Structure formats: C-alpha cells, structure tokens
C-alpha cells in the first residue's frame, strides 16, 4: 500500500481544471446528460466500491479518531484525504468496503492486533456519523441500508498474515464483521504466495487450501488482489464459492504482477467471481508502471554507489526526477481496464475498487470518491446500457455476496476446521 503524499491546497486548485479538461469539448456536452442518468440509476442500485483505506488514513493522520476531522465537510482543499461524506454523496456511493489494512512488515501477532483495531475504527466511523453510515454484513443489509438513504459500511481485511496462521482467529475476524480477506498483501504468507514476492509455495500450500475452505464455510469472500497467479488458480480451484478481486486490474493492459492475467479472467465466468477494477496509477497505466520501475532501479543504483551517504542519493534522485518527470494516469486508462475485463470475463464479472486513501496519486478525473458518476457517464457515452451500469455499479457484487452466503448456509452443519500449519510449514 502506498501512503498519501499530495499537497492538499495545490491539489484542490488543480483538480477542477483537470476534470474539466478530461471532459472538454464535445465529450463534455455529451457526458453531462449521461451523469444525470447515472444519478438516477444509483438511486435504485447501490454503487459498491470494493476497497477504501480511510480507516488507515485516519490512523496515520488523525490519531485514529473519526472525530479528528469533520467528515461532514468537503476536505479536498484542507486535507490529503480522498474521502468525505459530501464527496461520497456526490459520487453516489451506496456501499463501501472499508479496508482494515495493516503493513506486511508487521509481525503476525501485531498485525492481528492492528487489524482488530482497524475493525474498531470502521465501527467508530459508523457510530460517529449514524445519519450517513450503517454497518452491513450481508447483501440484504446492504440493499436495506441503501434504500434507507445511508451508506452501507462493510469490512474487508487486507492481508492473510493477520490471522497469524490461526483459523480460530479467522473466525473471530468474521464474527467481528469482516466479510472478505485478501489472502496476501505485498509479501507471501506462510501459506500463500504474493504477486510481488518470491514464490514459496507455488500458490497455496495445504494449510492455505484449508483457509479458503474455512472462509467458504463461514461466508467470507476470498479476495485474490495482491496474490500470485498460481495462488489465484489454486484458490479458484479450491473455493466452492465465487472469488473476488477487490481492487485489481488487467495484466494484458498494464503488465504489473498485481493485475489479473487473461487466463484467470477467463475463469471468472465458470467461477462466478468478480474483478473490481482499481484506479491505482501504477496498476492501470503502463507508462506510470514503467516510470516507477525505472525510478526504483535508479534509487537502487545510487544507493549502491553511495553507501552511507543519503545526501548524495537524494541529490542524485532529485536530478533524475527533474530529468524524468512522472507521467499521469487518466480516466481513459481506467476505462481501458474496465473494457478489457468485460471483454474477456464478461459484463457479469466486472466491478469497481478504487483504492481511495490508499494511494499517493490518482487518475486525472478520478481524484476523489465523487468521480464515479463521471466514469459511469463516460461508459454510457461509449455505448454501455443502463443494465450494464447497474451491473458494474453493484449488482454483480451483490450476486457474488449472495452466492457466498448460500454456500455458507449449505455448510452450516459442518464443524469448524481445526487445521494447523505444520511446524515446518513457515518459510525461512
């Protein structure tokens, strides 16, 4: 996860101009009536975003206090946050999976503690603004809360190391409200390979398969964002319920290992799962991805040339950055991924997972949670029907949630798994 590092005041002044530029000329005139249609659609169909890191942003910047900043105010000009209540309302958000993220660098027992604290933060956000948010744990909850005019608040865990190799802890997280778990984050766990770490298990090991089965029994969605391709394939093979990618994009469009390859996209139809396209610039723009890789390589080179001399490394990087300005992702990049997922997996298997407040930059035109109507209106301008917009906004995820709930109901008579990771199961 990348932390936010934008200058809020400058950002606020630039965003309006950038958004206008994206929709300038004939497209602006054509997209405005589409936005009105989208607004009407989202009154009936909840727009459900798969991943927002506001709880972690509150922890890092506001003392973990939902009252530490006034979420009833538009904070785009006064803070670095991408999320507040006015922008959520303007964005038509009806259901939000709040990520209870903790860094992969944490020891598992500390990660478990911090994850429970993040779950507590989500509940305190809902308690602080009860006229806006209500905790949801089922698809029916989500629909009911949206119809009542509030934003359904759901909990998604990011990183399987938080269970500390304990299915008992997994069950406690479920009982606390978590309704999906991303099997890994940036590092492999003791039972599953990450997409951005050296492989240890060639996917899932035997205990990892038991984790997936127990998630099926509980009714917790298996989230495959961040995992390796082998882990994706293993989890889809083992799971008796549809899987999700809460915030991932298409590898054929941007060659980042975090993205979903076509071979896996093609399995979504038979699995019934969903890929919720993310807005992270390095995952959606090949130019941004390549620029970031080159920047990291230069940092490595300068650090090797100047051991123990951080000032020289900084001076070298400042010069490199000045000579190699970073490109910007755009809404067009996001649309390319959405369209590719639709083309390969099918319209029933695409959704939205912005990763707001978990990144330090966002595509031009989608700089805050108020950007969803612009995106959906542009899709309509390109020929997407109202039925298509309902599916990508929320119907697809509601279908997945209900399927996961049905699988759990069918397993109600099964006893909780007592599987344990073998003593020799941990990587060196």
Which amino acids are annotated catalytic? 51, 53, 158, 185, 226, 247, 355
Query: What is the number of other CB atoms lying within 10 angstroms of the CB of residue 297?
Result: 10
CA–CA separation, 285 and 324 (whole Å): 16
Beta bridge partners of 180: 156, 221
3-state secondary structure of 332: helix
CA–CA separation, 143 and 195 (whole Å): 34
CA–CA separation, 216 and 218 (whole Å): 5
Query: What are the Cα distances from residue 115, in Å, to 27, 69, 411?
Result: 44, 22, 27
Judge contact between 205 and 191, C-beta under 8 A: yes
Query: What is the number of other CB atoms lying within 10 angstroms of the CB of residue 243?
Result: 27
State the burial class of residue 346 (Cβ atoms within 10 Å of its Cβ: 0-12, 13-18, 19+). middle
3-state secondary structure 16-32: HHHHHHHCCCHHHHHHH
3-state helix, strand, coil in the chain (%, to 5): 50, 10, 35
3-state secondary structure of 112: helix
CA dihedral 349, 355, 361, 366 (to 10 degrees): 60
CA–CA separation, 261 and 249 (whole Å): 9
State the burial class of residue 417 (Cβ atoms within 10 Å of its Cβ: 0-12, 13-18, 19+). middle
Phi (first) and psi of residue 96, to 5 degrees: -130, 125
């Amino acid at each position: 996860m990348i932390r936010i590092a934008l200058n809020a005041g400058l950002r606020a002044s630039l965003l309006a101009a950038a958004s206008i530029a994206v929709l300038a000329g004939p497209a602006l005139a054509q997209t405005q009536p589409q936005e009105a249609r989208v607004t009407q659609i989202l009154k009936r169909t909840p727009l459900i975003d798969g991943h927002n890191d506001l709880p972690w942003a509150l922890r890092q910047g506001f003392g973990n206090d939902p009252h530490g900043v006034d979420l009833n105010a538009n904070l785009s000009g006064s803070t670095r946050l991408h999320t507040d209540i006015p922008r959520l309302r303007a964005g038509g958000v009806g259901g939000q999976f709040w990520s209870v993220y903790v860094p992969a660098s944490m020891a598992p027992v500390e990660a478990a503690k911090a994850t429970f604290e993040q779950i507590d933060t989500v509940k305190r956000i809902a308690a602080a603004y009860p006229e806006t948010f209500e905790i949801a744990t089922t698809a029916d909850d989500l629909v009911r809360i949206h119809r009542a005019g509030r934003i359904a608040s759901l909990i998604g865990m990011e990183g399987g190391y938080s269970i500390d190799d304990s299915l008992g802890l997994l069950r406690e997280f479920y009982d606390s409200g978590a309704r999906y778990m991303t099997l890994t984050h940036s590092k492999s766990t003791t039972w599953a390979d990450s997409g951005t770490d050296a492989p240890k298990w060639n996917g899932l090991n035997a205990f990892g398969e038991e984790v997936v089965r127990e998630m099926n029994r509980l009714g917790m969605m298996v989230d495959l964002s961040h995992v390796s391709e082998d882990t994706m394939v293993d989890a889809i093979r083992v799971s008796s319920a549809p899987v999700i990618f809460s915030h991932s994009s298409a590898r054929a469009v941007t060659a980042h290992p975090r993205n979903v390859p076509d071979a896996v996209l093609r399995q979504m139809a038979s699995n019934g799962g969903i890929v919720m396209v993310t807005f992270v610039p390095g995952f959606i723009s090949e130019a941004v991805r390549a620029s970031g890789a080159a920047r990291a390589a230069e940092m490595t080179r300068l650090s090797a040339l100047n051991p123990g001399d951080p000032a020289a490394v900084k001076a070298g990087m400042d010069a490199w950055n000045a000579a190699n300005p970073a490109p910007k992702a755009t809404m067009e990049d996001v649309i390319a991924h959405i369209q590719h997922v639709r083309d390969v997996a099918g319209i029933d298997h695409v959704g939205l997972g912005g990763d707001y407040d978990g990144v330090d930059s966002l595509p031009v035109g989608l700089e805050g949670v108020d950007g969803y109507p612009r995106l959906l209106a542009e899709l309509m301008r390109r020929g997407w029907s109202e039925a298509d917009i309902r599916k990508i906004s929320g119907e697809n995820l509601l279908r997945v949630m209900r399927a996961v709930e049905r699988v759990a109901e069918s397993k109600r008579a099964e006893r909780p798994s007592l599987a344990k990771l073998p003593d020799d199961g941990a990587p060196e």
